[in-house]
A and B are shown apart, each in its own frame.
Chain A
Amino acid sequence: MKQENFYNFAYLDEQTKRMIRRAILKAIAIPGYQVPFASREMPMPYGWGTGGVQVTASIIGKDDVLKMIDQGSDDTTNAVALRGFFELTAGVESTTETSEASIIQTRHRIPEDDLTEDQVIVFQVPIPEPLRFLEPRETETRKMHALEEYGLMHVKLYEDIATHGHIATSYAYPVKVMDRYVMDPSPTPKFDNPKMHKMAALQLYGAGREKRIYAIPPYTDVVSLDFEDYPFSVQEWPDTECGLCGATEVYFDEVVTDDHGGRMFCCSDSDYCEKRRAAGHTGKQPDQAAEV
């Protein structure tokens, strides 16, 4: 008897999936609102993607093609482990190509290429509450959302500017969804925030340990919080290009290449980078691309 036969398709039992789907539907109906759900104990640790896995397990079907990324890459340890989990329990096809996938589960990045209406992107979320580090109490933060009391969020941004001369939040940068709920985009770098705005794909966010699901329906307004005279801006790497494929307008990983301060930048989105190289683009350090 093979291991997967002990468990239902995609691990969760059907009743649990229905419960999670109901939470997802509610989340889609109230964009940016955190819906409490009866998160299950999963066979991977809390904080390692249990929320994303439960969301994916609830929406995945036999015909789906799954792409699993962590830090923008398909080949990081946790992405490999979670992809293996769905291969084992659901037997679905998986891919590393963004355009081939119907479901993309991600931790910390949104792919560089635009997603389409036929795709769903599932985010793994550690702390869903954007107000948590300003107000530790759940009872209080739920009230603040209900009453739309978001002044405190701007107090934090004000403090950043007063101290540093600019807003010093570089990831998990808060957004306002459809001019109502302030939402944490999961710890993606703020570089990815503009991609959330009017995205064609459905965005689902799952936080397993904190037992919350939230969503952004396709083509929804998502605005990064800022001040009129200190507008939101994304990270920039002036005069930097990917050492492997020469790309410039992307999020970079910085890789230390030796013990003498040598380093190079390359695309954080590994599929995007490979595609460009296959199309003949090269960077200044193509020899570094050799695979282990």
Chain B
Amino acid sequence: MNSAGVDSPLLRCSDLSKYYGRQPGCIDVSFELWPGEVLAIVGESGSGKTTLLNCLSANLEPTSGTVEYAMRDGTMPNLFDLGEAERRFLMRTDWGFVHQNPADGLRMAVSAGANVGERLMAVGERHYGKIRHSASDWLERVEIETGRIDDYPRTFSGGMRQRLQIACNLISAPRLVFMDEPTGGLDVSVQARILDLLRGLVSDLGLSVIVVTHDLAVARLLSHRMMVMKDGRVIESGLTDQVLDDPQEAYSQLLVSSILQV
């Protein structure tokens, strides 16, 4: 890690608001994300957490405010001042995005190996043997049998698809990964395995992660820090253990008690 990465944040979000017409999506959000940090954004559906994630990952242009990102060259530009070419390049190299539905992040009609290898080919890798070697290496890391490298994702179970999507994102050695309900829609037993895998990969690779979830168990297992959102605003933030064990806001207390006591 270079020195700039240690004493400056990886991503800085300042006064970010997004309105749909007059309907607010998220309002006045500010925070910093540091290298190696995992931040969970929690809240009920409609709280604005997905809108916020889409703005942070430059998929949605905010109405006001900025999202600055520490590029590898040491500069820290506002994402929305970058050209589309630069943004898309970031997305397929320095970032990852794990969708709730793996089909949104995979090419279902293309083999697992080609899915995993796509990012390498996109940045100019032109040696079939090397691409295949990396792809099979990554399948192993996400616990998919390498013998299935030429199978299509549609022949995979939901949990395998999600693990495949994770491999597709991590092969380019990204510094920041966005996750949108990465275990939503999976069986509880499968969820546990994915969370375990994610936790291992995140710490092994020193990834920075912003994960959106309505599931406080996911936040507790994965994140160092969390933000609680309600009606588009961040109403509480802090170290994950502190917020979960001693929530200050009435809404956070309600959220924690309603879920963790079950």
Chain A interface (Cβ within 8 Å of chain B)? 143, 146-152, 154-155, 158-159, 161-163, 226-230
For the residues of A in contact with B, the DSSP-based class is: helix
Nearest chain A CB to B85 CB, angstrom units: 5
Give the A-B contact count at a CB cut-off of 8 A: 54
Are B84 and A162 in touch, CB under 8 angstroms?
no
Cα distance A159–B122 in the bound complex, in angstroms: 15
B247 at the interface (CB under 8 A from A): no
Name the contact of A163 in the complex, choosing from B88, B123, B132, B150 (C-beta under 8 A). Answer: B150
Enumerate B80-106 residues with CB–CB distance to A below 8 Å.
Answer: 84-85, 88, 92
Are A154 and B85 in touch, CB under 8 angstroms?
no
Nearest chain A CB to B6 CB, angstrom units: 33
B residues in contact with A163, CB < 8 Å: 111, 150
Are A152 and B118 in touch, CB under 8 angstroms?
yes
Q: Which residue of A lies closest to B83 (CB)?
A: A147
Enumerate B209-255 residues with CB–CB distance to A below 8 Å.
Answer: none
Are B114 and A227 in touch, CB under 8 angstroms?
no
**Interface contacts beyond A151-B122, A155-B107, A158-B121: sample of 6 additional A-B pairs, CB < 8 Å, sorted by A:** A150-B122, A151-B119, A151-B123, A155-B110, A162-B149, A229-B129
Cα distance A148–B123 in the bound complex, in angstroms: 10
A residues in contact with B113, CB < 8 Å: 158, 162
Are A162 and B114 in touch, CB under 8 angstroms?
yes
Nearest chain A CB to B115 CB, angstrom units: 8
Are A159 and B114 in touch, CB under 8 angstroms?
yes
Are A155 and B84 in touch, CB under 8 angstroms?
no
B residues in contact with A227, CB < 8 Å: 126-128, 131
B117 at the interface (CB under 8 A from A): yes
Are A229 and B121 in touch, CB under 8 angstroms?
no
Cα distance A286–B123 in the bound complex, in angstroms: 53
Cα distance A146–B132 in the bound complex, in angstroms: 28
Cα distance A46–B58 in the bound complex, in angstroms: 42
Name the contact of B122 in the complex, choosing from A149, A226, A229, A230 (C-beta under 8 A). Answer: A149
Cα distance A90–B118 in the bound complex, in angstroms: 51
B residues in contact with A229, CB < 8 Å: 127-129
Are B150 and A151 in touch, CB under 8 angstroms?
no
Interface size class of B (residues with CB under 8 A): 20 to 34
What 0/1 readout, one digit per residue, does chain B (113-144) give for beta carbons within 8 Å of chain A? 11001110111001111011000000000000
A residues in contact with B119, CB < 8 Å: 151
Nearest chain A CB to B114 CB, angstrom units: 5
Cα distance A148–B128 in the bound complex, in angstroms: 20
Q: Which residue of A lies closest to B128 (CB)?
A: A227
B residues in contact with A158, CB < 8 Å: 113-114, 117, 121, 128, 131
Cα distance A149–B129 in the bound complex, in angstroms: 22
Q: Which residue of A lies closest to B119 (CB)?
A: A151
Nearest chain A CB to B127 CB, angstrom units: 5
Nearest chain A CB to B165 CB, angstrom units: 16
A residues in contact with B132, CB < 8 Å: 162
B residues in contact with A161, CB < 8 Å: 128
Give 19 pairs: A residue, B residue, CB < 8 Å, sorted on A.
A143-B84, A149-B122, A150-B122, A151-B92, A151-B119, A151-B123, A154-B126, A155-B107, A155-B117, A158-B114, A158-B117, A158-B121, A158-B131, A161-B128, A162-B113, A162-B150, A226-B126, A228-B127, A229-B129
Cα distance A150–B131 in the bound complex, in angstroms: 16
Cα distance A109–B113 in the bound complex, in angstroms: 35
A residues in contact with B123, CB < 8 Å: 151
Are A155 and B127 in touch, CB under 8 angstroms?
no
Are A230 and B118 in touch, CB under 8 angstroms?
no
Are B84 and A147 in touch, CB under 8 angstroms?
yes
Q: Which residue of B lies closest to A230 (CB)?
A: B128
Nearest chain B CB to A266 CB, angstrom units: 36
B residues in contact with A162, CB < 8 Å: 111, 113-114, 132, 149-150
Nearest chain B CB to A159 CB, angstrom units: 5
Cα distance A150–B119 in the bound complex, in angstroms: 11
Cα distance A151–B92 in the bound complex, in angstroms: 10
Q: Which residue of B lies closest to A159 (CB)?
A: B114
Cα distance A257–B92 in the bound complex, in angstroms: 55
Are B126 and A155 in touch, CB under 8 angstroms?
no
Q: Which residue of B lies closest to A167 (CB)?
A: B128
Q: Which residue of A lies closest to B123 (CB)?
A: A151
B residues in contact with A155, CB < 8 Å: 107, 110, 114, 117-118, 121
Cα distance A155–B125 in the bound complex, in angstroms: 11
Are B111 and A159 in touch, CB under 8 angstroms?
yes
A residues in contact with B122, CB < 8 Å: 149-151
A residues in contact with B84, CB < 8 Å: 143, 147
Cα distance A155–B111 in the bound complex, in angstroms: 9
